[in-house]
Amino acid sequence: MSSSSIIALDVSFNRLNGTLHELPSSITTDRPLQVLNVSSNQFSLELPSATWKMMKNLIAFNASKNSFTGHIPSSLCLGSPSLALLDLCHNQLSGDIPNTLGNCSKLKVLKAGNNHLSGILPVEIFHATSLEYLSFPNNGLQGELDGAQMVKLSNLATLDLGENHISGNIPESIGQLRRLEKLHLGNNNMPEELPSTMGNCTNLKTIDLKINNFSGDLGKVNFSTLQNLRSLDLMRNRLGGIVPESIYSCSMLTALRLSGNHFHGEISPRIGNLKHLSFLSLGSNSFTNIMKALHALKSCRNISKNK
């Protein structure tokens, strides 16, 4: 087979090492390669920068789980306008996120977690309005979420910016992301109250906001609208008041972690409505008459941990 006729090249899960070289200059710009998967190898040094200008038909590039260093190439979307999947997670990439990624009009999946990226999330990212999966966890990103820009990602299903240095609050406009299913903002520096508009994201299955500085009354959010919610993790914040009754309407919940906050009062016997609950953590609060809640939990046969 001629190298100029290859449509998909998958060399993942090998022991390839060294540098991922630039394509030879003899390859024309009409090269039909659509899928390039070099993940789970031992490649190191920087990603090639000129190659992407020659790969006009590239749809998916997966370079995850290697040891690539340097910056994310700014030419990725400029030379590959059809790029729909870009996975660079679990490498040693550093520097800022290039604003040219906003030129990827067809990009649906963008993953670059577990690197050493820094700076802010550029507003140009939100110009890639086809995004469904935006994931940069465990980096050094800073700044605040721009609510006016974020609403442009109307197709977004997963937003994962956990384990960074994100500050500011969750924008009220998050309620406009009606397709959002997974929200991961844990391990950041986010203060203020949770926006009531979060209750408008009726497709949410996972909310992970642990280890932040969220405060105020959790009752501001009407959880009864979140009938698809499976996991709610609010561990180690500064939330207070009583646990809102609306949480007990989330009948699909399997995991609920409220430990390390300032909640008080009693846990409602309605907690027994959470028939699918398998993990419950309430420690380090000021709850009273906890035995009443434990009695109500007898109907939750999947409970495996209760602290």
Cβ neighbors of 282 (< 8 A, separation 6 or more) are 258, 259, 263, 267, 290, 293, 306, 307
Q: What is the pLDDT of residues 255-293, one digit of tens each?
A: 999 999 999 999 998 998 999 999 999 999 999 978 877
Do 1-104 and 143-307 agree at the fold level? yes
User: What separation in angstroms does the CA of 277 have from each of 184, 245, 300, 303?
Assistant: 20, 16, 6, 6
Q: Is the pLDDT of residue 160 over 50?
A: yes
Q: Domain spans of the chain? A: 1-104, 143-307
User: What separation in angstroms does the CA of 203 have from each of 91, 108, 199, 221?
Assistant: 31, 18, 10, 15
Quote the percentage of the chain above a pLDDT of 90. Answer: 77
Tell which CATH classification among 2.120.10.80, 3.40.640.10, 3.40.50.150, 3.80.10.10 matches the domain 1-104. 3.80.10.10
Where is 257: in which H helix or E strand?
Answer: strand 255-257
Please give the pLDDT value at position 78.
Answer: 81
Q: What is the pLDDT of residues 5-34, one digit of tens each?
A: 789 999 999 999 998 877 665 444 556 889
Tokens matching residue 180: 């959002």
Quick one: fold of 143-307? 3.80.10
Q: What is the pTM of this model?
A: 0.93
